[in-house]
């Protein structure tokens, strides 16, 4: 632990005392939201993101320490733990470095090298490596022993070679250098498996593809691995460009082990040993290592993107407590209707058939008008799945015919609604409703309060991720759970109306405790103050400390219970009230009076100035909601399908998903269009999140429509020229000069229920214009045409950078 704290402090660019305090709190069971908001003095103000990073790295480093202890014990038991080796193991900063050092001592199945050592061939191997002037065949004569399985000279020399190959491959320093050199210079090549062209058509962009492995963006890497896993593509890692890409790497091996081709009797045998050590041992192992590194990095980036999208969706603007009609669109099966009151309680349901084949248009409008009138409805929430545009027309016609109702209609994402409908929680929450009607309830409620409704759905089912089904599911779940927890606690939860799934995301509360809270509320009525939480079964003092500040009680006995001020800090508020001589109800919201207060005047040993500043800010606007103001996009009349789109159209839309290569935008045609990263702004954009976020309203221009592939290319640079047009205006391309004309949409669309499927699945290998530096054979460099190089030339070329390379490898 002593070594972990300074390392974490260095990574987070903060003091060791801050890290130590945060680690102590985490180990004591405190949650990240609680530490970030209520323990700023202890951690020196570390925020949620820093604490999440710290918690994640802490797990990794502790696992590293556990593995280090096991490795040391294992080698010590073998009697092979020298002081130098112990020092190297204790200095290893990564799991990869630790495993490299452990490899020679790691228990393994009998290898050819072990069999050769047992046959007494190690002295031959040592002699040939140390003295290249010796003739290998002559030296091998003395080691022939049929009883030991060494039948002839060839067998003796092969055994000696196996010993040296394993020795070279298990050199931790050498493996580290080669791994980093291969990462920097390696080329990943994808090819289609013969006969799979038609089945794998969606991976057509990768049928003959090559790109430097270190430069592969996460979305392309995941597409490649998906193609391989589906049996469509093969992935081969080349050591570099040119006719003999392995030569520099073999040179590094030769330099490390002292092999030089000087025409001596043993040089040719040693050169061949180096070649085989690289090709059979090291390259095979490093190929797996680097593909795994690429996959891990791509997964981490995809999870990061998914988490950002999920956060934007969860923190989308709520329409508020207004009676709402939810419409789950459908054609043959009808439009499912659910009416919820201001609190989200279901008050009416129905199934209407305004569309084909029944065409009960007028009757459906009359039924909706009656429901709206009877229940005081102000909003109509329409799911964006199949028949959403037709159903939106129905709502607009309702509004036109009945202006006296004061209705407003909006199309919302229905992603995950079908998952909720069939869930165990939905069956308990809405037992009297058919599964088909529960989706309409969810659609209505998610307009009122997206966060409160979406927490009922497994985050992965919300479907705003990039290849979410391809990444490590454990890591994805941990990341998304953290996002949900942070969002829920940032907004705060109404203790008297919150559902079990929402309460379960509150700091310190589990699903079981959330059930107890709701059960207590149902048995004893609404909570009047936070102190009553202590009466909930199994909710002890520690849990109360963690959760109380995030739970709100409106119109209760204590005005501060409606704020984010923690009960433990109420004495600070009492001191402030005593100083200003005001009642709490009179002081809350009085910005003029509160702005004149000095935090230092009310700070003490327990509550420092950061906490006092937070208290004063909360008193200015108690229970403030960090979510934005509610706004909606207006789709263009007459634009309802892909066929209605025309290049040059300027439309308003909503960002539905952000990826590393751009943003997908819903313009109301059932198929999201892609704004490639090169067209997000009039400047170079490194990260799309610099410009857009999920749920954002944007204006876009249609550049290209591909009806056959269901792809739409859009631009937020409204002076871009559409595909095929000539004349004035901006050329369609990338700011960095690379062609950007083929950026189209490959969104996965929506399934039968309208829930967004994995957007990466239908996209396959499609990545717009960002194809990388080369494709196919034309991308290969000509390389040297002088033929294979000798080991002397190889080692000479590698020698100059050797020391630097080994130092770099150790750092990694």
Q: Are residues 87 and 178 in the same domain?
A: no
Please report whether residue 530 resides in a domain: no
The predicted pLDDT at position 464 comes to 65
Q: Which two tokens stand for residue 237?
A: 């890692």
The pLDDT tens digits for 28-50 are 999 999 999 999 999 999 999 99
Higher pLDDT, 761 or 516: 516
pLDDT of 439 over the 60 cut: yes
Residue 169 corresponds to which tokens in the numbers above? 């491959």
Confidence of residue 515 (pLDDT cuts 50, 70, 90): very high
* Predicted confidence (pLDDT) per residue in 704-731, tens digit: 999 988 899 999 999 999 876 644 444 4
**Higher pLDDT pick, 795 / 352:** 352
Q: Between 413 and 717, name the one with better pLDDT.
A: 717
Give the integer Cα–Cα distance in Å for 543 and 363: 54
Q: Are residues 124 and 148 in the same domain?
A: yes
Across residues 371-380, what is the average pLDDT? 97
Res 729: pLDDT: 45
Whether residue 741 is predicted with pLDDT greater than 50 in this model: the reply is: no
- Does 283 lie in the same domain as 176? yes
Q: How far apart are CA 800 and CA 263, in angstroms?
A: 23
Domain CATH code at residue 60: 1.10.10.650
- Does residue 51 have a pLDDT over 90? yes
Q: What mean pLDDT, rounded, does the chain reach?
A: 88
Regarding whether 405 and 385 lie in a shared domain, the answer is yes
Q: How many domains does the chain have?
A: 6
* Same-domain check for residues 650 and 691: yes
pLDDT confidence of residue 727: 46
Q: Does residue 460 fall inside a structural domain?
A: no
Q: Tell me, what's the pLDDT at 734? A: 38
- Are 156 and 124 in contact by the 8 Å Cβ rule? The answer is yes
To the nearest 10°, the Cα dihedral for 335, 338, 342, 344?
-120
Contact (Cβ atoms closer than 8 angstroms) between residue 444 and residue 339:
yes
* pLDDT tens, position by position, 119-132: 999 999 999 999 99
533-590 pLDDT, tens digit per residue, is: 999 999 999 999 999 999 999 999 999 999 999 999 999 999 999 999 999 999 999 9
Query: What pLDDT does residue 751 have?
Result: 31
The DSSP bridge partners found for residue 706 are 711
As a whole number of angstroms, the distance between CA 670 and CA 651 comes to: 14
Is 304 in the same domain as 176?
Answer: yes
Identify the domain boundary among 105, 131, 148.
105
- CA-nearest of 677, 701, 702 to 691 is 677
- Mind listing the pLDDT tens digit for each residue in 65-115? 999 999 999 999 999 999 999 999 999 999 999 999 999 999 988 999 999
Domain contains 21: yes
104 or 659, which is more confident? Answer: 104
Please state, in angstroms and rounded to a whole number, the distance separating the CA atoms of residues 228 and 236: 11
Same domain, 667 and 679: yes
- The CATH number given to whatever domain includes residue 373 is 3.30.420.140
Percent of the chain residues past pLDDT 90, beyond the cut:
75
Q: Are residues 101 and 120 both part of a single domain?
A: no
User: Tokens 């004035």 — which residue?
Assistant: 728
Asked if residue 738 lies in contact with residue 444, where contact means CB atoms within 8 angstroms, the answer is no
- The reply to whether 631 falls in a domain is no
pLDDT in tens, 181-240: 999 999 999 999 999 999 999 999 999 999 999 999 999 999 999 999 999 999 999 999
Here the CATH number for the domain that contains residue 715 is 2.40.50.140
**Residues 448-500: tens digit of each pLDDT:** 999 999 999 988 888 766 677 888 889 999 999 999 999 999 999 999 999 99
Burial of 92 (0-12, 13-18, 19+ CB in 10 A): buried
Q: Averaged over 754-764, what is the pLDDT?
A: 34
Burial class, 69, CB count within 10 angstroms (exposed 0-12 / middle 13-18 / buried 19+): exposed
CATH code of the domain covering residue 571: 1.10.150.310
| Structural domain ending residue among the three candidates 170, 199, 222 | 170
Confidence (pLDDT) at 805: 53
Both 176 and 157 in a single domain? Answer: no
Domain boundary among 151, 170, 189: 170
Mean pLDDT value of segment 402-416: 88
376 Cα distance to chain centroid: 42
Cβ-based neighbour number of residue 96 at 10 Å? 16
- On the question of pLDDT at 298 being above 70, the answer is yes
Q: SS3 breakdown of the chain: % helix, strand, coil, rounded to 5?
A: 50, 10, 35
Residue 601 clears pLDDT 50, i.e. is over it:
yes
Answer for the pair 700, 722: CB distance below 8 angstroms, yes or no: no
Structural domain contains residue 513 = no
Encoding tokens for residue 49? Answer: 């993101």
Asked whether residue 762 is domain-assigned, the answer is no
Residue 636 has pLDDT above 50, yes or no: yes
What number is the average pLDDT over the span 760-780?
36
Distance CA 493, CA 503 (A): 7
Confidence grade of residue 639 (pLDDT, cut at 50, 70, 90): confident
Regarding whether 266 and 365 lie in a shared domain, the answer is no
Find the DSSP H helices in 144-200: 153-169, 172-185
176 lies in the same domain as 301: yes
Q: Is residue 477 part of a domain?
A: no
Determine how β-strand 335-340 pairs with β-strand 346-352: antiparallel
Task: State how far the Cα of 598 lies from the Cα of 611, in Å rounded to an integer.
Answer: 12
- Is residue 582 in a domain? yes
Return the H-helix or E-strand segment holding 254: helix 247-257
pLDDT at 798 over 80: no
User: What is this structure's pTM?
Assistant: 0.79
> Quick one: residue 298, left, alpha or beta (phi over 0 = left, psi -120 to 50 = alpha)?
alpha
Confidence of residue 430 (pLDDT cuts 50, 70, 90): very high
- Asked if residue 59 and residue 125 are part of one domain, the reply reads no
Domain extent, residue 72, equals 4-105
């Amino acid at each position: 632990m002593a070594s972990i704290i300074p390392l974490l402090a260095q990574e987070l660019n903060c003091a060791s005392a801050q890290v130590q305090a945060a680690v102590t709190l985490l180990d004591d069971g405190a949650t990240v939201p609680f530490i970030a908001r209520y323990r700023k003095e202890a951690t020196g103000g570390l925020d949620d993101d820093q604490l999440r990073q710290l918690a994640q790295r802490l797990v990794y480093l502790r696992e590293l320490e556990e593995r280090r202890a096991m490795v040391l014990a294992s080698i010590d038991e073998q009697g092979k733990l020298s002081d130098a080796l112990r020092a190297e193991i204790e200095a290893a900063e990564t799991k990869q470095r630790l495993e490299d050092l452990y490899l020679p001592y790691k228990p393994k199945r009998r290898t050819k090298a072990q069999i050769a050592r047992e046959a007494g061939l190690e002295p031959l191997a040592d002699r040939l490596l140390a003295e290249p002037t010796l003739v290998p065949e002559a030296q091998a004569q003395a080691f022939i022993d049929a009883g030991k399985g060494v039948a002839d000279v060839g067998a003796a020399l092969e055994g000696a070679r196996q010993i040296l190959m394993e020795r070279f491959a298990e050199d931790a320093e050498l493996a580290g250098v080669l791994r980093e050199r291969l990462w920097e210079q390696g080329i990943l090549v994808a090819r289609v498996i013969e006969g799979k062209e038609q089945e794998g058509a969606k991976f057509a962009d990768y049928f003959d593809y090559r790109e430097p492995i270190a430069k592969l963006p996460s979305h392309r890497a995941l597409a490649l691995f998906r193609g391989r896993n589906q049996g469509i593509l093969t992935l081969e890692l080349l050591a570099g460009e040119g006719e003999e890409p392995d030569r520099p790497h073999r040179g590094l091996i030769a330099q490390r082990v002292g092999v030089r081709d000087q025409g001596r009797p043993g040089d040719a045998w040693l050169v061949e040993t180096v070649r085989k050590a690289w090709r059979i041992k090291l390259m095979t192992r490093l190929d797996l290592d680097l593909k795994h590194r690429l996959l891990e990095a791509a997964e981490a980036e995809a999870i990061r993107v998914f988490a950002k999208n999920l956060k934007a969706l969860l923190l989308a603007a709520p329409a508020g407590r207004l009676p709402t009609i939810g419409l789950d669109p459908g054609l043959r099966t009808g439009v499912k209707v659910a009416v919820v009151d201001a609190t989200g309680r279901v008050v009416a349901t129905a199934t209407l058939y305004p569309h084909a084949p029944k065409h009960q248009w007028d009757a459906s409008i009359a039924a909706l008008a009656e429901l709206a009138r009877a229940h005081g409805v102000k909003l109509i929430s329409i799911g964006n799945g199949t028949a959403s545009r037709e159903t939106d027309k129905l709502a607009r016609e309702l509004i036109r015919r009945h202006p006296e109702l004061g209705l407003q209609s909006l199309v919302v994402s229905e992603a995950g609604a079908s998952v909720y409908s069939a869930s165990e929680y939905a069956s308990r929450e809405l037992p009297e409703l058919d599964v088909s009607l529960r989706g309409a309830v969810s659609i209505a409620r998610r307009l009122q309060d997206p966060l409160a409704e979406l927490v009922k759905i497994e985050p992965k089912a919300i479907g705003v991720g990039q290849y979410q089904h391809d990444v490590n599911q454990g890591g994805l779940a941990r990341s998304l759970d953290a996002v949900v927890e942070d969002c829920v606690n940032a907004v705060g939860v109404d203790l008297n109306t919150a559902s079990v799934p929402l309460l379960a995301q509150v700091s310190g509360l589990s699903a079981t405790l959330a059930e107890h809270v709701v059960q207590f509320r149902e048995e004893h009525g609404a909570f009047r103050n936070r102190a009553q939480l202590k009466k909930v079964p199994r909710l002890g003092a520690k849990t109360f400390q963690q959760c109380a500040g995030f739970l709100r009680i409106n119109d209760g006995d204590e005005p501060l219970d409606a704020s984010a001020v923690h009960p433990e800090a109420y004495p600070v508020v009492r001191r402030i009230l005593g100083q200003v001589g005001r009642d709490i109800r009179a002081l809350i919201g009085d910005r003029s009076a509160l702005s004149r207060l000095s935090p230092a005047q009310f700070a003490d040993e327990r509550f420092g100035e950061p906490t006092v500043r937070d208290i004063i800010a909360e008193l200015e606007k108690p229970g403030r909601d960090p979510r934005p103001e509610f706004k909606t996009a207006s789709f263009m009349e007459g634009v309802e399908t892909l066929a209605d789109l025309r290049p040059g159209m300027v439309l308003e839309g909503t960002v539905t998903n952000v990826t590393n290569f751009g943003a997908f935008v819903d313009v109301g045609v059932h198929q999201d269009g892609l704004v490639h990263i090169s067209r997000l702004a009039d400047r170079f954009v490194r990260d799309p999140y610099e410009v857009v976020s999920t749920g954002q309203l944007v204006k876009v221009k249609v550049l290209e429509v591909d009806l056959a592939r269901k792809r739409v290319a859009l631009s937020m640079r409204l002076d871009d020229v559409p595909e095929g047009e000539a004349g004035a205006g901006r050329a369609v391309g990338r700011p960095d000069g690379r062609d950007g004309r083929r950026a189209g949409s490959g969104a996965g669309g929506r399934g039968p229920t309208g829930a967004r499927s994995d957007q990466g699945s239908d996209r396959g290998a499609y990545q717009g214009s960002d194809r990388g530096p080369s494709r196919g054979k034309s991308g290969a460099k000509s390389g040297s045409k002088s033929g294979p190089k000798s080991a002397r030339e190889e080692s000479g070329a590698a020698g100059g950078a050797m020391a630097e390379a080994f130092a770099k490898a150790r750092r990694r």
